[in-house]
Structure 1
Amino acid sequence: MPETSRRGLLFGTAAIGAGALLTACTSNEKKDEPAANEQPVDDKPGKAVTIGFAGPQADHGWLAAINANARAQAKKYSDVTLDITEGSNDTAAQIGQIDSLINKKVDVLVILPADGKALTQAGLKAMRAGIPVINLDRIFADPQAFRCYVGGDNYGMGVNAGKYIGEKLKDKPNATVIELSGPDSLELTKQRTQGFDDALKNYPNIKKVARQAADFTVESGQAKMAQLLQAQSKFDALWNHDDDQGVGALRAIDQAGRDGFLMVGGAGAKSAMDAIKADNSVLKATVLYPPIMASTAIDLARALGQGKGVSGMAGLEIPAQVTLFSAVVDKDNVDEYLPQGFS
């Protein structure tokens, strides 16, 4: 769905692609007077904003968390009305839902397309109708189809998984790793694999010997992991792109009675973090792909609808891109990240 690679500079938990973080007003400025190039931005009620939210069907833990985060963030603001669609994985149905929001003349649209390429025309239609679009996660094929992109760092996710495994195996001669990816039809899967492969280049003692693509579901994770286990009698590490399909992968591993390797997951499900904390399985870490990006999208949509900039950033406009950082969670920091884990 071709999302372009989002490898922006990383600032703590987020990366801003079209703006730089800046300090607040200098100490000799009055606190009630913003700098000349800034508008005052705060959480006080302002102009009423109706935000339309259209996403795919929440048939996956991460997608359900996206919807939950969007709703929770909108409820924080008395000046925001959230009009959220039922969600669909059918392209025609999602286009119809977006058309309905356009006809309602919402102030801003937040769209997480089931397929970025297929939904590009819907984004363009909204923008041409004068409704700014926040494109969430799966990017449209045409940059004119959105005002701002908010998403995770898929390439960085793969890089951080590769670095974590690399550091664990750097002293092991002839180490081997395998990969359980997401659907190869998604650009984000290609980015995660590319990041992982690029990170492993820094560890010449490690070789990736097998890869299977699953579908981000428990069932596909179990089936594809069973195939990997049958084909590979021994390996040292597994990089699994998604914690939902990781549930199935762990089932296959348990059924096969296999151990002697470490597993790194992806996304940051609570079940994965619980397993990491318990430290009683091969799963030793997960690389975050934070669904709190939906909260960020709501904040930016509100600012956009009210004609505000973003606190802590220069300029009168919101940024063109925000990319969240993919932190690695293991037993050393799992307690810190557990509150962010999604069911």
Structure 2
Amino acid sequence: MPATSRRGLLFGTAAVSAGALLTACTSNEPKTEKQATDNAPVADDKPGKPVTIGFAGPQADHGWLNAINQNAKSRAERYSDVTLEITEGSNDTAAQIGQVQTLINKKVDVLVILPADGKALTQVGLQAMRAGIPVVNLDRIFASPQAYRCWIGGDNYGMGLNAGNYIGEQLRDKPNAKVIELAGLDNLELTKQRTQGFDDALKNYPNIKKVARQAADFTVESGQAKMAQLLQAQSQFDALWNHDDDQGVGALRAIAQAGRKDFLMVGGAGAKSAMDAIKADDSVLKATVLYPPTMAASAIDLARALGQGKGVSGMAELEIPASLTLYSAVVTKDNVDQYLPTGFN
């Protein structure tokens, strides 16, 4: 959870997915077909002043990042008054800085930036703001609040906290329960925040002990390899918290190959494959904790409102908030149908 989100406005899932900021469906089906979220309220859907939004994100080399791009595109297409200038995503900070500078030179009305590296992109965010172009900073936060008008993103600490609390409630009556953790990239601050949230939740359950942790790389291959190592090292445990549903695909392969069914698994992010497995209830995967890529759709809503000088429908303030932290809901078999439309491939 970014430090600035402590002063942010915390939205529950209902407020984000069906309230002032509409979540968008990640489906690639034609717009003529009714999507599952189309009946949710929209922040002032009436056509207004034309707005050109520049969108710059990292390379879509991961299911969640690809869903970010798709959410931004499909959301912009809903508005006849929005033109989206989208860059080719890059994980090279110098390349992404150049792409944002090109958008600044084009004099777009608003910028939405998901930086490959928030600290490295801070200066170009400042450049845009000083040029009179408001910036919506998406998820990975800039080092200075002067570099953006609004930040919107997920709650990494809350993601770990909710995963830990869910596991804790499942194991609260089991003496000497053991859990393990399959984390993401350890050099990322978000990974540390997810682990911290998880560890803090487990403090509420003195009967549970975390006995092992491995860091993977957010890929199917790394998830399978690291999970195989964990399974070999731990002959018995009761629950697994996996930070990422992409690497969870590999983790589930390793679990199936080992023939293990003696524990429950909680995933992270909200991939469609994970939700499908939860609904089928035929594997160890019993829940996933959301890190919704629909935040990109909400970022387009916010950018449009900024470009038109409006606030957010459903809120009393004349201006959009400075910060919005999305809620990390726990998806289980009981509520999976509600969240399936937001699942990403």
What's the TM-score once normalised by structure 2's chain length?
0.89
Give the count of matched residue pairs.
Answer: 319
d(CA) in 1 for partners of 2:238, 2:10: 30
Counterpart among 189, 207, 210 of residue 208 in structure 1: 210
| Cα distance change of structure 1 residues 286 and 63 upon mapping to structure 2, 3 Å threshold | same
Aligned to 1:81: 83
Whether 1:62 aligns to 2:64 is yes
The aligned residue for residue 96 of structure 2 is 94
Moved over 4 A (4+): none
Q: CA deviation at 1:192?
A: 0.9
Identity of aligned residues (%): 84
Q: Which amino acid aligns with 1:196?
A: F
1:146 CA displacement: 0.7
Separation (CA, whole Å) in 1 of partners of 2:152 and 2:337: 26
Letter of the structure 1 residue corresponding to residue 280 of structure 2: A
Partner of 1:306: 308
Whichever residue aligns with residue 295 of structure 1, its letter is A
Match of 1:137 among 127, 135, 139: 139
How far apart are the structure 2 equivalents of 1:336 and 1:313? 24
Distance 1:243 1:61 in 2: 9
Q: Please identify, of 312-321 and 244-253, the stretch whose mean Cα deviation from structure 2 is larger.
A: 312-321
Larger Rg: 1 or 2?
Answer: 1
Look up the SS of the partner of 2:5 in the other structure.
Answer: coil
TM-score (normalizing by structure 1)? 0.90
**Which residue of structure 1 lines up, in the alignment, with residue 13 of structure 2?**
13
Displacement of 1:302: 0.3
1:9 Cα deviation after fit: 5.7
Q: Note closer, same or farther for the CA distance 1:286–1:330 as it changes in structure 2 (3 Å cut).
A: same
Counterpart code for 1:276? I
Cα 1:15–1:335 shift into 2, 3 Å: closer
Opposite residue 323 of structure 2, the aligned amino acid is: Q
Which position in structure 1 is the counterpart of 2:3? 4
Q: Deviations over 1:217-242 (max 9, x none)?
A: 11111111111112111111000000
Gaps in structure 1 of 5+ consecutive residues: 22-40
Counterpart in the other structure of 1:268: 270
* 1:27 equivalent in structure 2: none
Q: How does 1:118-267 map to 2 (within 5 A)?
A: 118-267=120-269
Q: Partner of 2:337 in structure 1?
A: 335
Q: Distance in 1 between matches of 2:14 and 2:213?
A: 30
Q: Does the Cα contact within 8 Å between 1:5 and 1:155 map onto a contact in 2?
A: no
Judged with a 3 Å threshold, the aligned counterparts in structure 2 of structure 1 residues 280 and 14 are, in CA distance, closer, same or farther, namely closer
The aligned residue for residue 115 of structure 2 is 113
Q: How many Å apart are 1:197 and its aligned residue?
A: 0.6
2:160–2:198 contact (8 Å) kept in structure 1: yes
With over 3 angstroms needed to count, the CA separation of the structure-2 counterparts of 1:14 and 1:294, relative to structure 1, is farther
Question: Given residue 13 of structure 1, which amino acid in structure 2 is its aligned partner?
Answer: T
